[in-house]
Structure 1
Amino acid sequence: MDFQTLCTEDFYARVSGRRGCGERRVTEELRREFRRSEGGTYLDHAAATLFPESAVRNYCEDVSTNLYGNPHSHSPSSRLTHDSVERVRLRILQFFDADPEQYSVVFTSGCTSALRLVAESFPWRRGSVFSYLTDSHTSVVGMRGLASALGAVTLPVAPDDLRDGADEDDSCQTPHLFSFPAQSNFSGRKYPLSCVTGIRARRLYPACAYRGQWRVLLDAASFVCTSPLSLRQCRADFVPVSFYKMLGFPTGLGALLVRSDAAAALHKRYFGGGTAAAYLSGEDYYVEARSTTDRLEDGTISFLDVIALNHSFDALHKLTGGMRSVQEHTFALARYTYLVLSSLRHGSGRSLAQVYAHGHFESASSQGPILTFNLLDAQGGFIGYSQVDRMASLYNIHLRTGCFCNTGACQAFLGISSEQMKSNLQAGHVCGDAVDLVEGRPTGAVRVSFGYMSTFDDCQNLLKFVVECFCSGAVSVDGGRIQAALRHATSPSTSTDTSTDTSTSPRGPSTDEDRDELQRESQSHRDEGEELQRESQSHRDKGEEPQSQRGGAYTLSKIYIYPVKSCGAFEVERWPLGPRGLLYDRGWMVVNGNGVCLSQKREARLCLIKPRVELSNNRLQLLAPEMESVSVPLETEAQSQICLSKVCGDRVETLDCGDGVADWLSRFLGQTSRLIRLSPDFTRGARKRTGRAAASEVSASLSLVNEAQYLMINVSSVERIQRLVQRREQALSEGSSVLDVQNIISRFRANLVLSGGGGAFEEDEWTHVSIGDARFTVSGPCGRCHMVGIDQESGARTREPLLSLSELRGQRKVTFGVYLSHRLPENSRTPVFLCRGSSVRPVSLPRPNALPAPP
């Protein structure tokens, strides 16, 4: 059985028990509802699912034709709002099969807000226990801060420690709370809902070990997105949910479902609008509202968002027929993807992926549609999740990377100790950053998750992407794993299987390790990318002098400025240096109707706008295909409107360039756009860096650039990339168009292009560069993303050269070119110019143990 056979609907049907991808009528209807996702592969439904267009369309018609007022008033519009909100509360209870006499729906701003509400209102006292499963979301773990402050003891419990215990009768009424996820947001593992009864009855650890009255918080945020939940069968005390995860729209709205007897125990210390039946401002007198919802909902709820839920529930039912259908469909996709991904092998025979799961995706009752994994190279080393994320963007695949706000599960599966976590933090790694490997070990993983609108094509796109980008040699398939999974599919288990597949365990190596080791020893070759990677690193080997000391003169061959951020380049022969870099470089940028900076990542047509700086008449001219040119003054008038914007997280003060150029941009880009420029009175400092250049880095002022004043690339390095692109393209298809050197140079959007010298990637070792009479400090390498896949002359998107660059750089961060900074001489009245053809004199890192250079 080969990879092509696995990528067929027939095989999908064998594995999943479902024929094809569903009825063609339903598929076409879904396609109409989610047209905005065409051309992409959205696999991040566990973070936020997609909303159908009809839900938003019907909601807009609703609020446009009905008058909704504040529900706390008594006017006709207010009564309409009140009645509509109450109808939605009942609908939510019906959706979760909850008895309206037993449960109340308290609206919150999200699931996290619902959890905080419980933590703030629970009757903690000295001797209380707040216990939670270690496989819990950050928002659950964060409840311990409030609980501990009020005298409670925190008790984290590992999943394997949930066990039966002695049931002892006692009359102790000390309140305790246990929280566990119905479904892990890290691995998709489903925990038995019978835990609710076991904890409440004190038959299950930890409840059996601590006397008192135990309540259960069931974190259902991940579970209810794709699975049915009946609160008549699972009588949890508190159930927080998030509606954008379930329905996609509206966002910023969640709810806490509260059992009536548990609600009576909740008492808020703060009271706000609507929560009080009566109070006095002159003395400490306050009476709570009787209704659970009234006393727990602060102020006026987001009533228009609540009304939107009606239309989202309508669309969900119409498109799916119910949550059981959603569960079957999404699990089938996840099971198929798991089976194929976990069976893929490099040409060396080693596994291509390490999947983090409990069991083998046997049953939808024990596993949700979440698949978390890390990719491995042909030698068994981990590939950083940031590199996977970057390459996925090139294929327009949307997924999630990191620890997904679930440190406990991340530590368990990846084998990271608490000491290592602290050490990683001290080394600079924090949640959400791109530090994906520390000493070769992953700090997080890649997660894909499915929704009811996901298709078999989405699975194929992901799997083909993994093979095309990360498989070394001819891909092969572990047939034994396939056959074993097919046997499971014939008679799927309905129990919650907590056994761990050794090949996907958080501990220990793959079960194929011995066989892989033999195949690795007999491997006689490496692919072209690995050969080039070794070649490109040879100049840095120990004991070898930096190439800049072995001869070869560099010349400044090209100078580019980019007056408007993300627009086309303006090539010059001679240009003055300013306090923020090349004069007028990235002095302007285009923003959309909401004032958000537009880049080629969002709007590739920006590259077709060609700015020209006309120093002689003090104008910035913009040219674009089939448009008359437009110009603005280089120095914006003093009366221009001041606006605040952000560039790479930095707040910048800008000036608006007027309606004329805004209209020109809006017509060309097909969306509301404006041109703004950095205020001359605003100073934006460069961020402090770490590493080898930090000590000598100059204090630089930035324009609207992302990272540094200047970006420099080496033509020899470009040629190395171009050769690899050529080899890859020729291997895939004879006669296919290959990017030439100049095309690749334009994609890297450098200010300074060097030619000559000793060889490729020498610039990675430089600390300083002198060009003519100007001296620059190397600030570090430039990290690259899928923006280099945009042809700067046509706006077309391609996967090269990022594919080849990623292959060449290997597991490291994908970088190309180096940043430079420069500070003009103080009180100097003589302008400093850069000229094409100037000599370039780099200074490299000294060789270890080498004698210092003579003065």
Structure 2
Amino acid sequence: MVGIEDTYPEYALTAQLDELRATEYSYLDEQSHVYLDFTGSGLASKSQHQSHNERVANTLYGNPHSVNPTSGVATEAIEKTRARILAHVNASPDEYVVIFTANATAAARLVAESYPFTAKTKLVLTADNHNSINGIREFAKAKGTKTTYVPLTTPDLGVDEAALRAVLSSPKKRSQIRDRLPKIKSWLSSLLTPCLGQRRKRLQPASTDEPSHHLPEARSPSPASSTTTLKPTRNIDLEKTIITTYSPPLDHQVPPASSRKAGLFAYPAQSNFSGVRHPLSYIPLAQKQGYHVLLDTAAYLPTSPLDLSPTSPYKPDFCIISFYKLFGTPTGVGALVARRDSLTTLLALNRPWFSGGTITAVTVSTPWHNPTHSPQSIHEAFEDGTLNFLSIPDISVGLDFLTQKITLPILDIRIKCLTAWFLDRLTSLSHSNGAPMAVIYGPTNTLQAAQVVSSRGGTITFNLVTPTGQIIDERIIDMDSARHGISLRTGCFCNPGAGEAAFALAPQKIRKLVSTATTTGNTVSGVGGEKRLGMDDYIRLVGMQSGGAVRVSFGAASNTADVDRFFDFVEGTYRDWDAADRTKKLKPRGRW
């Protein structure tokens, strides 16, 4: 078998992580366990646990909502941690603020419940989003705001950039382009030279040295639509092509938060379903169209740097962070990293309730309260109740371990190499009849994954299939892998949009599911009376072979032995395997 360094020699640069595996993460090998669910949760090192135990055992902390000595100790630790988080993402404390929440989901909800949605604003979401982001649409709906989803391209599961630009473009901008359509059409027609005998002609965007037409800047080609292919005998809707292909001019600065009225755009920097990394360039693209941007960094930040410095071109209004996904502990603490101007002008006056810690004064006999509005402590208006002051200091310890012991550049190399090597081996798996053993959802360009890296992170989602192409039920793989001491993830990973695209679920099938669920009240008649619709019923209604997929993801403690163990398990268990007998004996599914 070809070793990883034979194909990806840069893997040798990451030897220091093998030393950490033997010391800080030795419990994995001591328990003979293979951990392949780093997108679900990071793993904490031994020194992180030791640091927490020593600190709590030797430091006296008190509720930070006071001025006594123990309160002062807790407050100081919390504020140092805020500063450490901002430093990790290169953010200036004059521009960004850290708001502690219970988790990343709570951070998303904080924006959702406070955002000033109206009937005139839009909520734009990519189809690839975690349910914590999808749930924002319920707050938007309650205030009369329409939600628009931007579809994904297949098979790579990237965002359809042409559709994104069309959705974000304001009616005013589109009308400006339509006003110039005659000149643009004339210019395009001049490019379509007589093509008798030619099979195809490609339509190229405007050259920047065509001053007489003043054409808007053309969008960068995407893998799914890098060119528009024209046939001589085919009728072309030039107007639709122009409106879709050309974006509004992007030569002006991002307007301040207070002047952006279009609505909210939310998307993940990295998909928790497929590992696809969506371009950070979508941030200024949306902001220049008048949107505020919520960036989900939960799957991205554990292995990649984020630059929010004053000179960075990518400055989202809101970022949500999950710390246990970065380095395993603490759980129960997340954060919203937000621009101060966005908080001040958008959210502070729109919170639907108040609680302890978020107000300066409140009365009972006459209902009135005054929220905390100090510019320097604007975070206090959003931190409900008492913070997790015993665990928050662990974040600084984790960040120091990530940046000083692991180091992000080394981790980046290891993740890319392991991901590429895993994909190489997964795509080469076959049954005795030559049929492939796996179908992969998302990018499979392993050379790019290892050397260029911008297209995907260390998350691979796939299904194993029988020699006849039948998908092996993910519940079987879940149970079998557990018996072999392997932790992985199965299902749809709280990301229904990516699942719908990956499994090619037609919209009419989704509508049938929704119609059945709503008209029946999620119940059906059966033997013994009424029965609530379960997950298996939903899967049957949309015509899926299985209830999702298998997800493998890598982190700092991952090594080649983990990959070898996984493939020994897969080949030894499922090569030339017949799924029929075991599928009949499976218990009903619970949550998706």
Residues 142 and 324 (structure 1), Cα distance of their counterparts in 2 relative to 1, 3 Å cut: same
Q: Which residue of 1 aligns with 2:386?
A: 300
Distance 1:273 1:334 in 2: 46
Q: Which residue of 2 aligns with 1:17?
A: 9
Q: Which residue of 1 aligns with 2:417?
A: 332
Distance 1:431 1:230 in 2: 41
Q: Which residue of 1 aligns with 2:110?
A: 117
- For the 8 Å contact 1:353–1:376, the answer to whether it is kept is yes
Partner amino acid, structure 2, of 1:395: H
Residues 297 and 432 (structure 1), Cα distance of their counterparts in 2 relative to 1, 3 Å cut: farther
Residues 34 and 274 (structure 1), Cα distance of their counterparts in 2 relative to 1, 3 Å cut: same
Distance 1:432 1:101 in 2: 51
Structure-to-structure mapping, 1:716-731, within 5 angstroms: none
Distance 1:440 1:812 in 2: 16
Are positions 1:37 and 2:28 aligned together? yes
C-alpha RMSD of the superposition: 2.6
Residues 216 and 56 (structure 1), Cα distance of their counterparts in 2 relative to 1, 3 Å cut: same
Residues 259 and 189 (structure 1), Cα distance of their counterparts in 2 relative to 1, 3 Å cut: same
TM-superposed CA distance for 1:110, in Å, is: 0.5
- For the 8 Å contact 1:42–1:397, the answer to whether it is kept is yes
Residues 263 and 303 (structure 1), Cα distance of their counterparts in 2 relative to 1, 3 Å cut: same
Residues 327 and 431 (structure 1), Cα distance of their counterparts in 2 relative to 1, 3 Å cut: farther
Residues 308 and 437 (structure 1), Cα distance of their counterparts in 2 relative to 1, 3 Å cut: farther
- For the 8 Å contact 2:292–2:317, the answer to whether it is kept is yes
TM-superposed CA distance for 1:365, in Å, is: 1.2
Distance 2:572 2:540 in 1: 21
TM-superposed CA distance for 1:463, in Å, is: 1.3
- For the 8 Å contact 1:104–1:257, the answer to whether it is kept is yes
TM-superposed CA distance for 1:30, in Å, is: 2.3
Q: Secondary structure at the match of 2:301?
A: helix
TM-superposed CA distance for 1:29, in Å, is: 3.3
Deviations along 1:74-105, one digit per CA (max 9) or x if unpaired, are: 11111111111100000001111111111000
Residues 371 and 433 (structure 1), Cα distance of their counterparts in 2 relative to 1, 3 Å cut: farther
Q: Which residue of 2 aligns with 1:499?
A: none
Structure-to-structure mapping, 1:74-85, within 5 angstroms: 74-85=67-78
Residues 52 and 259 (structure 1), Cα distance of their counterparts in 2 relative to 1, 3 Å cut: same
Partner amino acid, structure 2, of 1:33: E
- For the 8 Å contact 1:181–1:191, the answer to whether it is kept is yes
Deviations along 1:157-177, one digit per CA (max 9) or x if unpaired, are: 112122352249999753510
Distance 1:409 1:253 in 2: 27
Q: Which residue of 1 aligns with 2:86?
A: 93
Residues 464 and 434 (structure 1), Cα distance of their counterparts in 2 relative to 1, 3 Å cut: farther
Are positions 1:355 and 2:355 aligned together? no
Q: 2:581 aligns with which of 785, 809, 828?
A: 809
**More off after superposition, 452-461 vs 151-160:** 151-160
Q: 1:469 aligns with which of 540, 554, 573?
A: 573
Q: Secondary structure at the match of 1:441?
A: coil
Residues 451 and 132 (structure 1), Cα distance of their counterparts in 2 relative to 1, 3 Å cut: same
Deviations along 1:688-721, one digit per CA (max 9) or x if unpaired, are: xxxxxxxxxxxxxxxxxxxxxxxxxxxxxxxxxx
Q: 1:446 aligns with which of 550, 560, 570?
A: 550
Distance 2:58 2:304 in 1: 34
Deviations along 1:116-137, one digit per CA (max 9) or x if unpaired, are: 0001111112211111101000
- For the 8 Å contact 2:100–2:335, the answer to whether it is kept is yes
Q: Which residue of 1 aligns with 2:487?
A: 398
Structure-to-structure mapping, 1:784-795, within 5 angstroms: none
Distance 1:20 1:429 in 2: 52
- For the 8 Å contact 2:20–2:557, the answer to whether it is kept is no
- For the 8 Å contact 1:30–1:319, the answer to whether it is kept is no
Distance 1:407 1:415 in 2: 12
- For the 8 Å contact 2:14–2:411, the answer to whether it is kept is no
TM-superposed CA distance for 1:284, in Å, is: 3.6
Q: Secondary structure at the match of 2:390?
A: helix
Distance 2:425 2:571 in 1: 11
Percent identity, please. 33
Structure ranking higher in strand proportion: 1
TM-superposed CA distance for 1:420, in Å, is: 3.3
Partner amino acid, structure 1, of 2:248: A
Structure ranking higher in helix proportion: 2
Partner amino acid, structure 1, of 2:270: Q
TM-score (structure 2 length as normaliser) = 0.74
- For the 8 Å contact 2:283–2:315, the answer to whether it is kept is yes
Q: Which residue of 1 aligns with 2:278?
A: 191
Q: 1:287 aligns with which of 349, 370, 375?
A: 370
Are positions 1:260 and 2:340 aligned together? yes
Structure-to-structure mapping, 1:142-221, within 5 angstroms: 142-158=135-151, 159-160=159-160, 161-163=163-165, 164=219, 165-167=247-249, 174-202=261-289, 213-221=290-298
- For the 8 Å contact 1:56–1:311, the answer to whether it is kept is no
Q: Size of the alignment, in residue pairs?
A: 463
TM-superposed CA distance for 1:32, in Å, is: 2.3
Residues 135 and 352 (structure 1), Cα distance of their counterparts in 2 relative to 1, 3 Å cut: same
**Any gaps of 5 or more consecutive residues in structure 1?**
203-212, 473-528, 531-806, 816-855
Distance 2:477 2:533 in 1: 18
Distance 2:542 2:535 in 1: 14
Structure-to-structure mapping, 1:739-818, within 5 angstroms: 809=581, 811-813=583-585
Q: Which residue of 2 aligns with 1:228?
A: 305
Residues 97 and 63 (structure 1), Cα distance of their counterparts in 2 relative to 1, 3 Å cut: same
Q: Which residue of 2 aligns with 1:699?
A: none
Distance 2:535 2:347 in 1: 33
Are positions 1:54 and 2:47 aligned together? yes
Q: Which residue of 2 aligns with 1:313?
A: 399
- For the 8 Å contact 1:132–1:180, the answer to whether it is kept is yes
Partner amino acid, structure 2, of 1:162: L
Partner amino acid, structure 2, of 1:379: T
Deviations along 1:204-235, one digit per CA (max 9) or x if unpaired, are: xxxxxxxxx31000111111011111112220
- For the 8 Å contact 1:370–1:447, the answer to whether it is kept is yes
Structure-to-structure mapping, 1:475-490, within 5 angstroms: none
Q: 2:329 aligns with which of 242, 245, 249?
A: 249
Partner amino acid, structure 1, of 2:318: F
TM-score (structure 1 length as normaliser) = 0.52
Q: Secondary structure at the match of 2:502?
A: helix
Partner amino acid, structure 1, of 2:410: S
Are positions 1:457 and 2:568 aligned together? no
Deviations along 1:645-675, one digit per CA (max 9) or x if unpaired, are: xxxxxxxxxxxxxxxxxxxxxxxxxxxxxxx
- For the 8 Å contact 1:275–1:298, the answer to whether it is kept is yes
TM-superposed CA distance for 1:295, in Å, is: 0.5
Q: Which residue of 2 aligns with 1:749?
A: none
Deviations along 1:539-583, one digit per CA (max 9) or x if unpaired, are: xxxxxxxxxxxxxxxxxxxxxxxxxxxxxxxxxxxxxxxxxxxxx
Residues 396 and 118 (structure 1), Cα distance of their counterparts in 2 relative to 1, 3 Å cut: same
Q: Structure with the greater relative contact order (CA < 8 A, sep ≥ 6): 1 or 2? A: 2
- For the 8 Å contact 2:303–2:555, the answer to whether it is kept is yes
Which of these two proteins has the greater Rg computed from alpha carbons? 1
Distance 1:173 1:97 in 2: 24
Residues 315 and 401 (structure 1), Cα distance of their counterparts in 2 relative to 1, 3 Å cut: same
Residues 201 and 434 (structure 1), Cα distance of their counterparts in 2 relative to 1, 3 Å cut: closer
Distance 1:31 1:407 in 2: 38
**Any gaps of 5 or more consecutive residues in structure 2?**
152-158, 166-218, 220-246, 525-531, 588-592
Q: Secondary structure at the match of 2:478?
A: helix
